[in-house]
């Protein structure tokens, strides 16, 4: 479908789901939401971290993971091609090329174009190792390999998209690097815990948009996945001024947001914060104080 049919402000669809250990159940939910979004003329559909499944325990997670060439991911490639839509597949449990030697997986965010081509793959750099006494206990690094590079922003009909995943949101160096590389949309597919989500989710997303002057799109997991895991939900889109322009309600659902790049570029002119940055001084201060430069 042509951009003219979609209008001057591209429509983005953000999916909120409750992934289970049952991959077939998750495929049914996600594919239905994608089809619904395309009927609304969305040009990109964003799915959350762990859209494929959330395992009940580590061994189950490792057993359900697949390589990118596997049958499960290829369903989504075919779905993008069938419905002529971009898909942000926000966190796939990937058996990488080193699976045989490590027996660990990657948390992989893929961007698929309407021809069914995987145009970008980002593997999560910052792994969620957190121990909040009596509230949250999770160590992603016990079964997941960290990624080793930030992926350049990808041109799409909605704007240049910078890829990240969940816990990456807490590291502003990454979002600033993507913004300086030209990103207009930063996407943080997530599975925030109920505890950390209630405290930090909205604050972090809005702060990110203000610091980077980008749109932020955050598709999220919601609800109870199994007896020991519940996600916060509240998928949302935040504009470069820090205003929430779309948000999902409770349960599996969709929300929609137009991306206004004219507004974004106008804001950059009115408040040219990146022209005012002094990275040379930040690096010098860090070196003088005994810290690694940003």
pLDDT attached to residue 288: 83
Tell whether the model's pLDDT for residue 103 goes beyond 80: yes
Strand locations in 166-226, DSSP E?
A: 185-187, 215-218, 222-226
151-160: average pLDDT: 98
Q: Can you give the residue ranges of every domain in the chain?
A: 11-269
Who's near 116: CB < 8 A, 6+ residues apart?
77, 78, 80, 81
156-185: average pLDDT: 97
The string of pLDDT tens digits covering residues 250-269 is 899 999 999 999 999 999 99
CATH superfamily of 11-269: Carbon-nitrogen hydrolase (3.60.110.10)
Q: Map residue 79 onto helix, strand or coil.
A: helix
pLDDT attached to residue 292: 64
pLDDT attached to residue 132: 80
The string of pLDDT tens digits covering residues 78-96 is 999 999 999 999 999 999 9
Mean pLDDT of the chain: 93
Could you tell me the CA-to-CA distances from 256 to 1, 54, 248 in Å, in that order?
A: 18, 25, 9
Residues involved in catalysis: 49, 124, 166
pLDDT attached to residue 293: 53
pLDDT attached to residue 55: 94
pLDDT attached to residue 136: 73
| Cβ-defined contacts of 259-266 (< 8 Å, 24+) | 259/9, 259/10, 259/12, 259/158, 259/159, 259/184, 259/185, 259/215, 260/9, 261/159, 261/184, 263/239, 264/159, 264/184, 264/213, 264/214, 264/215, 264/240
pLDDT attached to residue 104: 97
Rounded CA separation 170/180 (Å): 18
User: Rounded to two decimals, what is the model's pTM?
Assistant: 0.93
């Amino acid at each position: 479908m042509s951009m003219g049919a979609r209008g001057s402000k591209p429509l983005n669809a953000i999916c909120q789901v409750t992934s289970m250990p049952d991959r077939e159940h998750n495929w049914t939910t996600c594919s239905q939401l994608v089809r619904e979004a395309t009927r609304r003329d969305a040009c990109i559909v964003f799915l959350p971290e762990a859209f494929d499944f959330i395992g009940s325990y580590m061994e189950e997670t490792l057993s359900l993971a697949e390589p990118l060439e596997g049958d499960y991911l290829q369903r989504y490639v075919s779905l993008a091609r069938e419905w002529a839509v971009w898909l942000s597949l926000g966190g796939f449990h990937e058996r990488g090329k080193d699976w045989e030697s490590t027996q660990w997986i990657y948390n992989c965010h893929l961007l698929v174009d309407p021809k069914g081509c995987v145009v970008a793959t980002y593997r999560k750099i910052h792994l969620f190792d957190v121990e909040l006494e009596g509230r949250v206990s999770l160590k992603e690094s016990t079964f997941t390999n960290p990624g080793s590079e930030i992926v350049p922003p990808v041109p799409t009909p909605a704007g240049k998209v910078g890829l990240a995943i969940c816990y990456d949101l807490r590291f502003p160096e990454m979002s600033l690097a993507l913004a300086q590389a030209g990103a207009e949309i930063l996407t943080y597919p997530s599975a925030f815990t109920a505890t950390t989500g209630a405290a930090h989710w909205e604050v972090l997303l809005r702060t990110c948009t203000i610091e980077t002057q980008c749109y932020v799109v955050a598709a999220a997991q919601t609800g109870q996945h199994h007896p020991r895991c519940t996600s916060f939900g509240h998928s949302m889109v935040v504009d470069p001024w820090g205003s929430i322009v779309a948000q999902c309600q409770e349960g599996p659902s969709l929300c929609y947001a137009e991306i206004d790049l004219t507004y974004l570029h106008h804001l950059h002119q009115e408040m040219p914060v990146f022209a005012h940055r002094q990275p040379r001084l930040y690096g010098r201060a860090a070196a003088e104080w005994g810290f690694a430069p940003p």
